[in-house]
Amino acid sequence: MRNEIDSSLLNIHSSVHNTNIMKYPITIFIALIFTANASAQKGANPIIKSYGTIYEIAGAVNPDSETEYRIVVDLKTLQRDKESINPGLNNVARMINLHGLGGVKAENLNLAVAIHGGATDVILNNDAYQKKYELDNPNLQLIDELKEAGVELYVCGQSLLARKYQHEEVNKQIKIGLSMLTVVTTYMHKGYHQMVFD
C-alpha cells in the first residue's frame, strides 16, 4: 500500500513538473512574438522631432494632403506630474505629426493653442517654474519646437490672474490673450475649427 501511494505521488510530481516545463517554451514564444511586433512598429516624428511620436497604420484613412488645415486648440489638460511634459501639449505635437505622417505639408497646418485652467503652469518661464515647484519646466523644449513649426501659443489672461502669475513670469514664446474664450472665438471667426483637449 505504501509503495502504491509513493508511486502515485511520484507520477503526480512528474506530471506537474512536465507541465511546468511545457509552460516556459510557450511563454518564451509569446514574448518573442510581442518583441518582434514592437520592434517592427517604429515611431515617427515627421514635423515635431522630439515630441508627439506617432505610428503608421497600414490601410488607414489619411488626412487630405491638399487641404489647408486651420485648428484652434482649447488646452486645459492638467499636468499632474510636474517633472513630465504636459500630456495635452504633447497631444498638439502628436496631432501635427499625425497630419505630417498622413502627407500634409507643415505649411498647410495652421494651429493656435489657447492655454488655460489646469494647463496654465506650462507657460511659466524656467525661473518662475523653479520658484513654484523647485524643478526645471519640462515643457520648454516642446514649446520651442511647436513655435518653430509655426504654432501660435497663447495663455488666458484670466487664468494668469486667477493663479496670481505676473506677466514677467510668462515664457517669451507665449502671447498673453485677454482670455481663452476671446482667443478661440477670434480664431473661429478666421475660419479655424476648435478642438478641446481636456
- pLDDT tens by residue, 4-26: 545 554 454 555 455 454 555 55
Q: Tell me, what DSSP letter sits at residue 97?
A: H
Burial of 50 (0-12, 13-18, 19+ CB in 10 A): exposed
Return all residues near 62 (Cβ < 8 A) that are at least 6 apart. Answer: 101, 102, 103
What was the pLDDT predicted at 74?
98
pLDDT in tens, 37-59: 544 589 999 999 999 999 999 99
- What is each CA distance from 111 to 18, 156, 190, in whole angstroms? 61, 16, 12
pTM for the structure as a whole: 0.80
- Average pLDDT value for the chain: 88
Domain 69-197: give its CATH architecture.
3-Layer(aba) Sandwich (3.40)
What was the pLDDT predicted at 41?
81
d(CA 89, CA 93): 7
Task: Name residue 25's amino acid.
Answer: P
pLDDT exceeds 90 at position 139: yes
HSE of 32, CA atoms in CB hemisphere, 13 A: 6
Q: Tell me, what DSSP letter sits at residue 172?
A: T
What ranges do the domains of the chain cover? 69-197
| Residue keyed to cell 490673450 | 177
Would you report the helix, strand and coil content of the chain in percent, each value rounded to 5? 50, 15, 35
